[in-house]
């Protein structure tokens, strides 16, 4: 449970990513790490995800992981 909360909190700070998209991403990819490793094209296979939001998700996840280092 603790891991799910921490993963969700990382996704909470991404601009334009609401509950529906977060749930869809986690359902398809399982973890934030898997989302981070995915391509823009893979993210856009989710019906609610377009190219712009997919690029934003990957960019912001990358920036967040760089801040943690």
pLDDT along the chain (69 residues), means of 10: 57 91 94 95 96 96 85
What pLDDT sits at residue 66?
A: 84
Crossing angle between the packed helical segments 2-12 and 19-29, to the nearest 10 degrees: 130
Please tell me the distance from the alpha carbon of residue 19 to that of residue 16, in angstroms, as a whole number: 10
What pLDDT sits at residue 20?
A: 94
Global pTM reads 0.82
What pLDDT sits at residue 65?
A: 86
Please tell me the distance from the alpha carbon of residue 69 to that of residue 66, in angstroms, as a whole number: 5
The single residue listed with the structure tokens 């760089």 is 66
What kind and span of H or E run contains 4? Answer: helix 2-12
Please tell me the distance from the alpha carbon of residue 1 to that of residue 18, in angstroms, as a whole number: 20
């Amino acid at each position: 449970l603790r891991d799910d909360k921490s993963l969700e909190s990382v996704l909470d700070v991404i601009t334009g990513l609401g509950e529906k998209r977060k749930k869809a991403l986690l359902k398809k990819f399982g973890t934030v790490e898997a989302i981070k490793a995915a391509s823009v094209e893979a993210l856009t296979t989710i019906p609610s995800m377009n190219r712009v939001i997919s690029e934003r998700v990957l960019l912001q996840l990358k920036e967040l992981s760089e801040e943690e280092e």
